[in-house]
Amino acid sequence: MPNPTAAAPGPLAGRRAQAARNDEAILEAARAVFLADPKAPIAAVADRAGVGISALYRRYAGKEDLLRRLCHDGLRRYVAEAEAALSEPDPWRALTGFLAGVVDADVHSLTVHLAGTFTPTEEMGRDAVRANELAARLVERARADGRLRPDVVVQDLGLLLEACAAVRVPDPERTRQLRRRQLAVLLAGLSAGADAEPLPGPPPAAGEFDWRWRRRE
């Protein structure tokens, strides 16, 4: 069988360079495929990347390994967005900008919806803790500034992101638009207003969403 990419010209031609390019192609394909369907077969990733199955197994020990990598990448992106947001002086803009970034990057699907399909590493645990601390600081600042209603807790961000991630239409760009709309509604609901009645029921607590990370049987 001819290798369709073998003859690629240019400064990056060569087997090594092609392999390096495949690294990225596979990750990108995996992101797209598993975002669309967390239970997709691994062959779908190979197809989408335009490579064979073995190109995948050369890089990852198995499906679980790939999923773990994707999830960890998403988590790191979350942390990076939070860190970037914390350098914004205006607390409200920091919070909304952070959420918009996370929603646009579809980080939530990448982390939460893939959780439970693999056993997390210790480093992921540490990153998750750090992610939570940063998010808590963003919420804290916005609340102290008086722009966020006082009965909002960090865990509400989880609900909010879940709500945005739930919006999904076939076209990715349109999905992004609709999620922005949803986010705008939610932020309007969370911003402090004179007429605001207190939110009903006990607020979401820290341990209530851990079950996602417990391995699904």
Based on the shown chain and the rule CB under 7 A, indicate whether residue 7 belongs to the binding site for DNA. Answer: yes
* CB-facing half-sphere around the CA of 55: CA atoms within 13 A: 24
How far lies 65's CA from each of 47, 121, 133, 192, in Å?
18, 11, 27, 43
Q: Which of residues 28-87 bind DNA (CB under 7 A)?
A: 39-43, 50-55, 57-58, 62-64
Helix count and strand count (H, E) for the chain: 9, 0
CB of 127 to DNA, least distance (A): 24
CA pair distance 95, 175, nearest whole angstrom: 21
CB nearer to a second copy: give 13 or 169.
169
CB of 215 to a second copy, least distance (A): 14
How far lies 185's CA from each of 131, 160, 163, 178, 200, in Å?
24, 10, 11, 11, 18
The one-letter amino acid at 27: L
**Interacting residues of 154 by C-beta distance below 8 A, sequence separation 6+:** 132, 135, 136, 139
Part in contact with DNA (CB under 7 A); list of ranges 6-14, 79-87, 127-135, 197-205: 6-14
Based on the shown chain and the rule CB under 7 A, indicate whether residue 216 belongs to the binding site for DNA. Answer: no
**Binding residues vs a second copy (CB under 8 A):** 156, 159-160, 162-167, 169-170, 174, 177-178, 180-182, 184-191, 193, 195-197, 199-204, 208-209, 211
Based on the shown chain and the rule CB under 7 A, indicate whether residue 214 belongs to the binding site for DNA. Answer: no
Q: Contact residues for DNA (CB under 7 A)?
A: 1-3, 5-7, 9, 13-19, 22, 39-43, 50-55, 57-58, 62-64
